[in-house]
Amino acid sequence: MITSTAPFELSETRQAEMHELYRHLHTHPELSMQETNTAAFIQRRLQALGLETFMCGGTGVVGILRNGAGPVVGYRADTDGLPMKEDTGLDFASKATGTLADGTPVPVMHGCGHDTHMTVALTAAQLLSESLDVWSGTVIFIFQPGEETAAGAKAMIEDGLWDKAPKPEIIYGQHVWPGLSGTVNISSGTAMAMADSWKITVHGRQAHGSQPEQSIDPIVLGAHMVVRLQTVVSREVHPMKSAVVTVGTFHAGLKENIIPATAEFSVNVRTFDVDVRTRVLDSLRRILHAEADASGAPAPSIEEISSFPQCYNDPASADALIGEFQAALGEDCVNVVPPVMGSEDFGLLAEALGVPSVYWMFGAYTQERLDADTPLPGNHSPYFAPDVEPTLGTGLRAALTSLLSRVGRSEAAQ
């Protein structure tokens, strides 16, 4: 099996093409499950490379690269942007807009770096399709929509992904993160947190702003809910266990002199441990209901927005890949790390088949940048702008390393 990606070293031309591809994708983000143009663009590229493709789960795209006998391996890249206003100042910054489910128009940005994921996957597909002699087997490229809402992996599976595509023995995937460019972070076992999101509707009673006694004030009630929720993490979770309870949105009222009838907010919960998750979600429900009682209000409506499973790296597969990475990138460039609080629906793709999967992070910032700016903007920041190189090159190398660890021809490594 090859442990080098040497045959895939990028020419200057190929690198320029990859950078051009990245800038294009960065400029044109689309919201989760609305990645229509992105999907069409990807499908055209894959078809041009000679891959079989099919659409799946709405705006998902699958590209199959067959190259004779051998293992079947999956590689997943996610494709959606975020409802946020880009503030990077890049000359190729996004000016795109989209529309939320409730009709609100919003700016859109690749604020989570999925543009780098697509760039790497498309370039890997290109290189593999150009070097068929050094590997054999089948690679399935899964361009998954709606990662940010935990909707995409589920949608692809429900749309028959594994009825339509060959069954891989493992699925790989990776995410850009605000660490040292040129390095990867990888965990064995649990890699990322569970995430549960709820939409809460607080039911009050509307009144003129000068008549609070006629109202049940949903803003005052909602504010007390937000304040009270802080005690779940501060007092109910074991201090050596991890949990996050974030209220990411709060919306109520149209005019300062009308006490509105309702308030809406959303809660996002991160946990690693099933018991902690259960306690936190139970406490959330208990607090939300009790605070409504304290206001003499009806019970709040609680609606699930999404529920991300834990992202779990099969230990044997992860340990093997760590060795491959050390050989390909250098030992100094591979960090074996504890899990992170972020979440992913990546794991569902392999779980649906009962096969293992491995997910890792690749760094976004050069040492110069890390030294200069502190703290550097992370994912979901309006300033998130990875240094293009060695970020993309490392992502590409890591992707190829993972795939070739399964489908590489050992003689090629000689």
Of the two residues 12 and 213, which places its CB atom closer to a second copy in the complex?
Answer: 213
Helix (H) / strand (E) element for 290: namely: helix 274-294
Which of 22, 265, 359, 365 touches a second copy (CB under 8 A)?
265
Q: Which two tokens stand for residue 105?
A: 């128009």
204-234 burial, b at 16+ Cβ within 10 Å, e below that, comes to: bbebeeeeeeebbbbbbbbbbbbebbeebbe
Q: What is the DSSP code (8-state) at residue 109?
A: B
> Cα(46)–Cα(50) distance, rounded to whole angstroms?
6
Of the two residues 305 and 413, which places its CB atom closer to a second copy in the complex?
Answer: 305
CB 148 within 8 A of CB 306: no
Q: Are strands 184-186 and 105-107 parallel, antiparallel or unpaired?
A: unpaired
Verify binding: residue 206, a second copy, rule CB under 8 A.
yes
Q: Flag whether 380 is marked binding.
A: yes
Verify binding: residue 255, a second copy, rule CB under 8 A.
yes
Of the two residues 42 and 233, which places its CB atom closer to a second copy in the complex?
Answer: 233
Verify binding: residue 203, a second copy, rule CB under 8 A.
no
The three-class DSSP label of residue 71 is: coil
Of the two residues 67 and 206, which places its CB atom closer to a second copy in the complex?
Answer: 206
CB 142 within 8 A of CB 77: yes
Q: Which stretch binds a second copy (CB under 8 A): 63-71, 159-167, 279-287, 404-412?
A: 279-287
Verify binding: residue 259, a second copy, rule CB under 8 A.
yes
Which of 5, 123, 144, 295 touches a second copy (CB under 8 A)?
295
Q: Flag whether 175 is marked binding.
A: yes
Verify binding: residue 239, a second copy, rule CB under 8 A.
yes
Q: How far is the CB of 157 from a second copy (least distance, A)?
A: 22
Q: Flag whether 112 is marked binding.
A: yes
> Cα(212)–Cα(215) distance, rounded to whole angstroms?
5
Q: Which two tokens stand for residue 43?
A: 């499908």
Which of 11, 210, 410, 414 touches a second copy (CB under 8 A)?
210
Residue with tokens 């949608």: 155
Q: Which two tokens stand for residue 323?
A: 């060795």
User: Comparing C-alpha atoms, which of 168, 188, 123 is closest to residue 407?
Assistant: 168
CB 153 within 8 A of CB 162: no
Which of 261, 320, 412, 413 touches a second copy (CB under 8 A)?
261
Give, as ranges, the residues between 102 and 121 that touch a second copy (CB under 8 A): 103-106, 111
Beta bridge partners of 378: none
Question: For the chain, first and last CA: distance in Å?
Answer: 9
> Cα(353)–Cα(371) distance, rounded to whole angstroms?
44
Q: Which stretch binds a second copy (CB under 8 A): 3-11, 126-134, 135-143, 247-255?
A: 247-255
Please count the residues of this chain forming the interface with a second copy, following the rule CB under 8 A. 93
Give, as ranges, the residues between 215 and 234 that touch a second copy (CB under 8 A): 215, 217, 219-220, 222-224, 226-228, 230-234
Please give the full DSSP string across 342-372, using - where no structure is assigned.
---SHHHHHHTTT--EEEEEEEEE-HHHHHH
Which of 6, 48, 90, 258 touches a second copy (CB under 8 A)?
258
Verify binding: residue 93, a second copy, rule CB under 8 A.
no
Give, as ranges, the residues between 120 and 159 that touch a second copy (CB under 8 A): 148
Q: x/- site string to a second copy, residues 160 to 199, per CB under 8 A?
A: ---------------------------------x-x-xxx
Distance (Å) of CA 408 to CA 64, 316, 323: 17, 19, 15
Of the two residues 60 and 218, which places its CB atom closer to a second copy in the complex?
Answer: 218
Verify binding: residue 379, a second copy, rule CB under 8 A.
yes
Of the two residues 167 and 285, which places its CB atom closer to a second copy in the complex?
Answer: 285
Feature table: binding site for Mn(2+): 112, 114, 148, 175, 380
Feature table: binding site: 112, 114, 148, 175, 380
